[in-house]
Structure formats: structure tokens, C-alpha cells
A = this chain, B = another copy of it.
Amino acid sequence: MASEKRLEVVTCTAPVNIAVIKYWGKRDEELILPINSSLSVTLHQDQLKTTTTAAISRDFTEDRIWLNGREEDVGQPRLQACLREIRRLARKRRSDGHEDPLPLSLSYKVHVASVNNFPTAAGLASSAAGYACLAYALARVYGVESDLSEVARRGSGSACRSLYGGFVEWRMGERADGKDSIARQVAPESHWPELRVLILVVSTEKKLTGSTAGMQTSVETSALLRFRAEALVPARMAEMTRCVRERDFQAFGQLTMKDSNQFHATCMDTFPPISYLNDTSRRIIHLVHCFNAHHGQTKVAYTFDAGANAVIFTLDDTVAEFVAAVRHSFPPELNGDKFLKGLPVEPVPLSDELKAALGTDPTPGGIKYIIVTQVGPGPQVLDDPGAHLLGPNGLPKAAA
């Protein structure tokens, strides 16, 4: 078929990941090499994912990209770094003697379209899922089979962790060229089936400091960040890996909370200081500690990235009670239906003892909604041609 020869098209999906040992600070801004290793949990794509279609054709006269339906500048440096890197890998593969399965030239231009199934307002690190998905789709369309850590990383550091499902570490590496700064799976998504993840979307003003500028200022000004990266994170990586391998939720939860707090501490030690947490974030922290104190054990853990939203880890048998506690402390302003998204949660009553333990005055509307999800797999290729975001002409399909 003529169309097959003229247009090679691939559509993939990729997940969001949430770091439990935080990445903050680059030792090389150009190559995006971190000052410490990090470890994350990959979230399930049933709730949160990026979908990306990449198409190459000799008929395309330039690289183009559409994000959430709007064409964006393809010339931005990080996108260019990804494209350069994937083409370098493809050339390398050919020169290594692999047979090229397709009669397509590496000089062909690429069209890319990408959409998220979650609102940007959710404050989730959409760039990680986005660049992982881009790397994965480009690799497929250009026939690259090597490690994609560097391609994704050049787009957004934490994107390399979205290349795998389950529990993923990004080893900082030691080499100046970054070849050993790669992501690796610590445990697959099937490893800890009871683990649940709740995203508490907080009503918030616009974020004042982006994470790229933020972490650069932190590296330049925070002595506490340097100390953390060099003296504290290595032992935390080892301990977190143990917690995951042994499914030790108590220790996993405590270290997750401590590492989130330490990351935000280094933001505060930055000059000028960076504050991502707001009063609602702090009330959520207080709620979690009250909940755990009431139970006499760590049943729930929070972590916060560069924003006010909380990500909560807990086990399946605790989700319903914790959601009831959240509803009690943050009475929803929306009607109940829209407050919970994702995996179903049975409503349960809150005991008077727990109500008393939570103590603080309720904050109506402080939390907009909750997304309930779990650990999930890495990027996927969609075989259904109907899933392509680009039509046979290589342009975005009209929105349905």
C-alpha cells in the first residue's frame, strides 16, 4: 500500500512516576545529570498517562509537534536534544550492522502529537510521562532498541524513570558523559499488589518557581542540598530499595515522608527560598501524622513534588478509612460524585476516636478531588490504528 510506504506511524503510552527518594539538582545542566540518585514508583496508566503518536515520512518538510492539540515550537532545546539523541542512536545501530527493516531514511522529518489524560492543573509531572512517551515512540518509529534513558533524560531528568513499570531507580552515575546515568527497574509492578496511590489535588494559586530554575538555584545556594546529595541520599537509596524488595510498608512510608520533607527543606534553604507547600499541604501532612498516631503505626505516607498536591501511599485495606478521614478534614465543595476519581472506594464511616484524633478544624474545599490509582507498567505500544493521534496526512486528527 502506498500509504504504508509513505508514512511510518507509531502510537505509545507512558506513565507518570512519583519519586520517593527525590531528584533535585543537576551536576550537568546540558546533559541533565543529577547530583544524586533517585527512586520512584510508576503509576498506573488506567488513571494517568501520556499518549504520543510519532510519524515519519519523506514527504514531511520539517519536524513538528502538537501538545494537547496545540502546535508548539519544535525548536526548543530539550526537544531538539531528544531528537538529536534518538537519531544518533539510530545511526549507531545501522553502522553496527543491523539490517534496517524499513526503507526509510534517518533524514526523514518527524511529526509528533501528544496528549495527557489528566489536567495540567493536577500539578503532576507531566513532562516525565511526556518525554518518556516521546523517547519510546521515536525509538519505535526509528527502529532503535537500545537503552532510552539518555533520550528521555535529555527531555526531563525524571522522564527516564517513566521508561519502566513498578519501582524504578535512576542511578546518578559517575561519568562526565552521563553514559552511566540510567534508569533501572528495582521491582516490577506485580511485586507489591496491595500498594495504593492517592493523589490529593489541592486548590492552589499559580506555582511561582518552575522546577528547572528552582533546582538550579538550589544547587547554587543551598549548602544543605549539597550535604543531602553527598552524605545522606546514598544510604537512603539503599534503605528504600530494601523497603521495596521486602514490601516493608512501615519503613517505606516513613522514609518516603522524610525524604519529601528533606527535599522541601532544601528548597527552603535555597536563596531566595522556594516554597511549594501551602497551608493545605501542611494540613494534609498533619492529617497523615494524626492518622498514623491514632493507629500506632505508619499506615499512610505522603510525598510532595514541586507543587502543593499530595501523593499518598497506603495499602488497599486502608484506602477507605483514609479517604473518609480526608473527607472529614476537607469537606468537598463539589458534589460527592466528582470528588473521587480512579479506582472505586467503598464509603465507610469514621470512628469517633479517629475523628477526635484528627482534631483540627475542617477546611472546606481545600482539596479539589482525589485520584485513586496503583502501581503500573511502563510504556506500551498501541496496536489499534484508531489510537493514532495523527491522520494519514501526518496532521492531528480533528478532535472528536
Contacts and interface: CB of A to CB of B under 8 A. Distances in A.
A118 interface: no
Interface in A254-286: 254, 257-258, 261-262, 264-273, 275, 277-279, 282, 285-286
Contacts of A294: none
A261 B282 contact: no
B273 A285 contact: yes
Nearest to A281: B275
Interface residues of A, number: 30
A6 interface: no
A1 interface: no
Interface stretch (A35-43, A145-153, A222-230): A222-230
Contact of A282 (B228, B264, B270, B275): B275
B224 A262 contact: yes
Q: Is the interface of A mostly helix, strand, loop or mixed?
A: helix
A232 interface: yes
Given A208-B286, A273-B285, A289-B272, A224 B265 contact: yes
A228 B254 CA distance: 23
A268 B261 contact: yes
Contacts of A231: 223, 227
Nearest to A226: B227
Contacts of A261: 268-271, 273
Interface in A35-66: none
Given A228-B224, A265-B265, A278-B279, A271 B286 contact: no
A49 B341 CA distance: 55
A272, A277, A285, A286 interface centre (most CB from chain B within 10 Å): A272
Contact of A268 (B208, B268, B286): B268
A232 B266 CA distance: 14
Contacts of A262: 224, 268-269
A286 to B, nearest CB: 7
A264 B268 contact: yes
Given A265-B269, A275-B282, 12 more contacts: A223-B231, A261-B268, A261-B270, A261-B271, A261-B273, A262-B268, A265-B265, A265-B268, A273-B285, A275-B277, A275-B285, A278-B282
28 contacts: A208-B286, A223-B231, A224-B224, A224-B227, A224-B228, A224-B262, A224-B266, A224-B269, A227-B227, A254-B271, A257-B271, A258-B271, A261-B268, A261-B270, A261-B271, A261-B273, A262-B268, A262-B269, A265-B265, A265-B266, A265-B267, A268-B268, A272-B285, A272-B289, A273-B285, A278-B279, A278-B282, A279-B279
Q: Which 4 A-B pairs have the closest CB atoms?
A: A265-B269, A265-B268, A265-B265, A272-B289
Interface of A: 208, 223-224, 227-228, 231-232, 254, 257-258, 261-262, 264-273, 275, 277-279, 282, 285-286, 289
